[in-house]
Each structure stands twice: as C-alpha cells, then as structure tokens.
Amino acid sequence: MTAQPLIALVGNPNAGKSALFNALTGARQKLGNYPGVTVERKSGRVSLSDGRPAELVDLPGTYSLTPTSPDEEVTRDVVIGKQQGERLPDALVLVVDATNLENHLRFALEVLDLGLPSVVVLNMVDLAARDGLELSPEALSEALGVPVVSTVAVRKRGLDHLLHELTTLIGTGAIALRPHTRDLSFTQRRARAHDLARTTIVRETASRRLTQSVDRIALHPVFGPLVLLGLLFLMFQGVYAWSEAPIAMIEGWAEELGNLATSLTSEGYFRSFLVDGVINGVGSVVVFLPQILILFFFILMLEATGYMTRAAFLMDGLMAKVGLSGRAFIPLLSSFACAVPGIMATRSISDPKDRLTTILIAPLMTCSARLPVYAVIIGAFIPARSVGPGIGLQGLVLFCLYLGGIIGAMLVALLLRRTVTKGQSAGLLMEMPKYQWPRWQDIVLGLWQRAVIFLKRAGGIIFVSTIVLWVLLSFPKPPAGSDTSPVDYSAAGRIAHVLNVVMEPIGFNRDISLALVPAMAAREVAVSALATTYSIDAGDDEEKLEHSLGDRLKNNWSLPTALAFLVWFVFAPQCISTIAVTRRETNGWKWPAFMVGYLFLIAYVAAGITYWTAVAAGL
Amino acid sequence: MHLHQLPLGQPAYIDRIAWDRLSPGEAQRLREFGVEEGASVEALHRAGLFGRGALACRIGRMTVAMRHVHADAIHVRTGAEDLPRPIPAAASGIASPSPEQAPSLS
C-alpha cells in the first residue's frame, strides 16, 4: 500500500472526539466535504510512534450505526467501507466517555463487531475521577480483546500511549478480534455494555457532582434565563468594550500603509485606486476583525464548556411556542457568528419542516458580518455615554438590534409554521454533556480558523467588489468646470440614482443605494463601499479627506436615515454565501428565492416604518 | 406514574414505555439514550416557570433533555419495595461478561 494509513475517530457525540482530534493533529488540519453530500470531512496528519505519517479523520458523532441524519450516515458508510471518496480505514479509534461507559460502550461494541483493527479510548478520565469513578482500562481491554487507552484529550494526557498502540496495530495489520455481540438485539448489546462497564469500574464513591451543582443555577426556572440573558448581554458589551484598543491599532496600520502608498506613488489613477480603493476599502472591513473574534470567542466557549445545550433547554419553551424544535436554538445561536455554518448545523434537526423553517429564519440572526455596518453607524450617530452602571448606550443599541432580529425570526417562524411549513413540530431530545473547561489551544485554533476565513473574504469578495466599485465610481469623470460631484457623474452614481427612486421613500440617500448594490456580495462590503464613495467624493479636498468615515456619515446623513439603515440590515438578505448554502441545503432555487423575497420585503417595510416614525418624532 | 409527574430529585426506575406513542425516530433516540425498562431515572430540572417546559432528567449516567410529550410516554415507579431487576445480565438473559463466554453470544 502506497498511501498513508487511514485512522478514523469514531464515537458518540460529546465523547470528546474533536478535542482528541485537535490534540493529535494540532493545527495540521484540512477541512473539506464528502462528495455528493454536504457533510464536512475533517482530517489531519499524525506521526505514529515509529515516525510514519498517518491520516486521521474525525467522523461525525453518532449514537449507533442506524443513522438518523446525513452526518450519521457518513460515519456508518465510512466504517463499513461504502462511503464514496473514502477508503476503508486501516484502524479505528473508538472514543468512549469514561463518565458514561454503559451508554458509550454499547456503540463501541456495535463498531467492534465490524472487525476492523481498533483501539478503545477511555476519554475524560479526569471527569470520571471527579465523579468518583475509578476505572481499570486493563480489565476492559481483557474483556474486549482490544487495546484500551485512558486519555484526557483536553490536557493532552495519554496521547503517546494511544499513538504507540496505533503503531503496533497498523504495523501488525488486522488483529484477531473476538466476535462480541454480533447478531444480538439492541437491548442485549446494551446489557453486555452494562456488564462491561461494571467490569471496568473498580470503585465508585459518592462525590461532588460539579455539573449538577452548576445546573442547579444554570437550569433554574428563574435564575437560568437570567444567567443566559446576562451572558448574551456580556457578549455584546464585550464586543464593544474589549475591541477598542486592537481596532485603534489596525486603524493606525491602515493609515500608515495609506501614507506609505501615497508617498511611493505619484498623483493619478493608480494612487487613487491603491489608496481610496484597496487600502481604504479593505482596511475599513479588516478593522472589525477584533469584534468578530470576540463574538466567536464567546460562541466557541459556550459550545466547548457544554453551556450551549443548556441554552437550548432553557429556550425550548419559547421555540415550541413558535413551532420550532429546541434543537433549532443551536444552529440559530451559531448564526450569530455566521448564517452559513448555522444553516449547515440544521442537519442535526431530523424533521424536514422543522429544519426548513430554521434555515429560512437563520439569516435573521445578527451575523458577525453585520457588525462592521452596525459599528460604523452606531459609532457615528449614537453618543458614547453611559445609561447605567456598566451599560453603555452604544452597546444597548447593538443589543436592541440583535433583539430585533430575534423577535423578527420568531414572528416569521410562527407565520411559516402556519403556512408554508405547516405541520407538527418534532420536539426536543438531546443529551446534555457535562461541563468542562476547554483547552485554550482549542479555542485559539478555532479563532485562528475563523480569522483566516474572514481575512480570505476580505481579500477575496471584498477586495474584488471594492475594486469593481472603485472603477464604477471613478469613471466617467465629470468634464472640467462641472458642478456635478465625481460620484454623481460616475457610472455607479447613475445606477444609484435609478435605485434611489425605490429607496428614497424609506429615507435612503444616493450613497446608501450605491453601497447596497456591491453589499449583495457580503454585508460588510457596505462599509468599504461607503468608505470608497466618500473617499472619491472628497477628491483632493484635504479638509474633507481628514474626516473619518464616521464624521463623513454624520455630515451627510440624518439620524432617521441612519436608524432606517440599521434596521434595513437587521433583515436584508445581503449575502451571496447564505443564498448559495440555502440552495445547496434545500436542493433547489425555490426556497432561497422565497427567503430572499420575504427578507427584502420585511427589510423595506421595517426600515420605512423606522424612518417615518423617527421623522415624525422630530429626531 | 408518568415521568413528568415524578418530583424533582426523587430517584425512580422506568417501569414501562409506551413506544407506540413515539415516532420511530424518537423511539430510537430514546433507546440510544438508555431509556428502557428497568433503567434508573431522576427528574432534575424543569424549564420555564409555568406549564410544560422541557424536562432534564438523568437516565443512568446521562443527562437528557426532553419534552413533555416524551416524558408522558415513560412510566416510572419509585419505592424500594418493588425495585425491578437491575437491567444487565438478568434482564437480557446474557451470562456474565467473562471473555471466554462472550463469543458464544453471537
């Protein structure tokens, strides 16, 4: 065999598979897709004890080999060698939660019966010790006839031992496996798992159950929702409060880069293109990286600590009222970071109508791409004053925008469940994992992956649309001595004039209409588009050029216009990636078309109402 | 009594499950979570101040969240006098787990 040996990680959800995968592969990971299905393939390289490289693949978690979702189907097909685009693994690592042996060993037995060379990993032995369980991996190994290794993936404990066992396994080829439970019924296999667990657990002492103590508060009918609300509020305040210094730093770099480019180029189109187009446009978006990373930090922490399922539990009552499954809460909360992974996460919802409704409302959750837009407008129009101890007005407005998206989503879900996605809701059935303090390297790795994706977007979509916009804004030039501003005279200005006929009634001006067109690619492009527009509009007027984007907006927009613009972005489906992923997940254009249509309609009406109300109130 | 009637914090055993009242998918998931006759169970938390919020319960060593409709299909009993047989071995008629005996099971 010329290819590297393939090792697959198999296990129940919450067995700590991903932590083990991260601990074994470090940053040497490759994300892809299995052909024909929209299931993510996560692979990485490991070095075996004898120095040979091997490919490690992290299979989706499942409770049995009887799949209930496309993800679980992939896991089954890989381990039986039927998955297109994946060869049969040379060895399996069966990851078992040491604190939940009875349950996880049942699935391990099912997989062991396939007869592939396997190592069983008793993961999270530290949590088992915390629960007062003393385990004997040797006893389990003897009973199963396969090597058993104890690990604490999040602390990188036991990895060398695991790699050593894998090296032996792969070196000697398939080892003789005793048939265990083949042909047994589910219940009989489960009984065998119970027996095995009793063999493995040497001693069990009553102990302090941390998870239960925390849950007494976190799931309390009164304090639970308060804690959740507090965490969400802290998250949105943190996005503002902690990002100031790094933002100022990035702004400083962009300015220096602009000055450098100005000094190195001579006056003319190239300088304008480089400084106004590229540096100003891309810089105005990259500056939001700190805020996006802070948001992702919170979401990754909520997931990794095990709190996310608690939030789903608390929210289930509300979700049920609008006809959704409590499970929908996890994809929806992920959509706060980005609707694309959020929509992909709906695959865990087995009921098709529940899932479709969740997909259709996911873009209403305020994603991180809206942050640049919100931040620039809020920074310009909402005074940075305190409205109470620890509560800033700007953070409060941001919180309200998030809340607006959530309330909108709930109302839309309610409506959809009574019309286009009519039917019974499938409900909530989920495991609640034990609380765990995540390994900080895993969080850093997650943040790094998000930062790379964001910067690639800034370098790709945003860069290209900024350039196209710069070209459209710069040509044709007004004849010398003309009163018309360069922007009004340009091709983009003329397009905006036409669009403005529709947008003017809701308080939008030419610049907004202009920014909305390239922002179809991605929301944050609106900011770079505005930056480029005002930069070109300023021309060589040095006094104007000194103004920041915020100051320029303040001079050109009224408060009602700014508010209407904010509300527009709560609802408008300005994101090509979301539309594309919806098409992929719903297998056609019908639902993405429906989604885009209804969201634009709501955006227009809501922005209009905001504008007219604000004008009537004399703001 | 039904699982949703079980007072919080009182250990009990699953007596009977009305599988016919659950969809095949729900029944499979509950089985995978360890819901079966004889399993130990304890209601831990109820979400929502009023009415029928989700229920978090311990089944074996696992904490599982479910809705009222699922808890309604699970009958439980408390009290030491009529503790059901422990699930393993006896319930399934499988002999003790010595490695030598295991192969004969298949």
Q: What is the value of ipTM here, to two decimals?
A: 0.77
Q: For residue A203, what are the β-bridge partners?
A: A134
CA-nearest of A62, A144, A73 to A95 is A62
A36 vs A42: CA distance, rounded Å: 16
Do B102 and A312 count as a contact with CB atoms less than 8 A apart? no
Give the pLDDT of residue B100: 38
Give the up-direction half-sphere exposure of residue A579: CA atoms within 13 A in the CB hemisphere. Answer: 20
Judge whether residue A242 has pLDDT over 90: no
Task: Determine contact, residues A15/A104, Cβ cutoff 8 Å.
Answer: yes
Q: What is the crossing angle of helices A352-361 and A576-586, to 10°?
A: 170
Q: Which whole number is the average pLDDT over B30-37? A: 91
Residues of chain A neighbouring B102 (CB-CB closer than 8 A): 143, 178-180, 192
Residues of chain B neighbouring A199 (CB-CB closer than 8 A): 97
Say how many residues make up chain B: 106
A430 vs A228: CA distance, rounded Å: 19
Q: Which whole number is the average pLDDT over A572-578? A: 84
pTM, rounded to two decimals:
0.76
Judge whether residue A9 has pLDDT over 60: yes
Judge whether residue B104 has pLDDT over 60: no
Task: Determine contact, residues A160/A226, Cβ cutoff 8 Å.
Answer: no
Q: Dump pLDDT digits (tens) for A173-182.
A: 555 556 566 6
Q: What confidence category does residue A426 fall into, taking pLDDT thresholds of 50, 70 and 90?
A: low
Task: Determine contact, residues A479/A457, Cβ cutoff 8 Å.
Answer: no
Give the pLDDT of residue A45: 92
- Max CA distance (Å), chain B: 55
Asked if B92 reaches chain A (Cβ–Cβ under 8 Å), the answer is yes
Residue A155 burial (C-beta neighbours within 10 Å; 0-12, 13-18, 19+): middle
Amino acid at A453: I
Give the rounded percent of residues in chain B with a pLDDT score beyond 90. Answer: 40
**DSSP characters over A183-251:** T--HHHHHHHHHHHHHHHEEEE-----HHHHHHHHHT-TTHHHHHHHHHHHHHHHHHHHTTHHHHHHHH
Q: What confidence category does residue A571 fall into, taking pLDDT thresholds of 50, 70 and 90?
A: very high
Strand order in the sheet with A40-47: A29-33, A40-47, A53-58, A6-11, A91-97, A118-123, A148-150
Do A103 and B33 count as a contact with CB atoms less than 8 A apart? yes
Task: Determine contact, residues A573/A579, Cβ cutoff 8 Å.
Answer: yes
- Measured in angstroms, the CA of A356 and the nearest CA of chain B are apart by 18
Amino acid at A360: L
Q: Dump pLDDT digits (tens) for A514-559.
A: 888 878 777 888 888 888 888 877 766 666 556 678 888 888 899 9
The Cβ of residue A459 has, within 10 Å, a number of other Cβ atoms equal to: 12
Q: What confidence category does residue B79 fall into, taking pLDDT thresholds of 50, 70 and 90?
A: low
A324 vs A313: CA distance, rounded Å: 13
A97 vs A101: CA distance, rounded Å: 6
A594 or A453, which is more confident? A594
In this structure, what token pair is assigned to residue A223? Answer: 């304090």
Give the pLDDT of residue A14: 84
**DSSP characters over A83-127:** -TT-PPPSEEEEEEETT-HHHHHHHHHHHHTT---EEEEEE-HHH
- Measured in angstroms, the CA of B68 and the nearest CA of chain A are apart by 9
CA-nearest of B4, B51, A64, A317 to A328 is A317
DSSP A462: I
Q: Which of residues 50-79 of B touch A (CB under 8 A)?
A: 51-54, 56, 60-67, 69-70
Mutate to test the interface with B, among A101, A142, A181, A432 (most CBs of B within 10 A): A432
A619 vs A558: CA distance, rounded Å: 8
**DSSP characters over A37-72:** S--EEEEEEEE-TTS-EEEEEEPPP-SSSS-SSHHH
Do A220 and B94 count as a contact with CB atoms less than 8 A apart? no
Q: Which whole number is the average pLDDT over A348-357? A: 81
C-alpha dihedral (A259, A265, A269, A273), degrees to nearest 10: -50
Closest chain A residue by Cα to residue B23: A426
CA-nearest of A365, A256, A278 to A315 is A365
What H or E segment, with its residue span, contains residue A150?
A: strand A148-150
Q: Which whole number is the average pLDDT over A361-373? A: 89
Give the rounded percent of residues in chain A with a pLDDT score beyond 70. Answer: 93
Tell me the torsion sign for CA atoms A227, A231, A236, A238.
positive
The Cβ of residue A205 has, within 10 Å, a number of other Cβ atoms equal to: 8
Asked if A250 reaches chain B (Cβ–Cβ under 8 Å), the answer is no
Judge whether residue B95 has pLDDT over 70: no
Give the pLDDT of residue B88: 46
Give the pLDDT of residue B106: 31
Mutate to test the interface with B, among A97, A195, A214 (most CBs of B within 10 A): A195
- Measured in angstroms, the CA of A509 and the nearest CA of chain B are apart by 46
Asked if A195 reaches chain B (Cβ–Cβ under 8 Å), the answer is yes
Task: Please measure the distance between the N-terminal and C-terminal CA atoms of chain B and give it in whole angstroms.
Answer: 37
Give the pLDDT of residue B60: 87
Query: What distances in angstroms separate CA A123 from CA A18, A100, A367, A412, B30, one per listed residue?
Result: 11, 10, 34, 42, 23
Judge whether residue B89 has pLDDT over 80: no
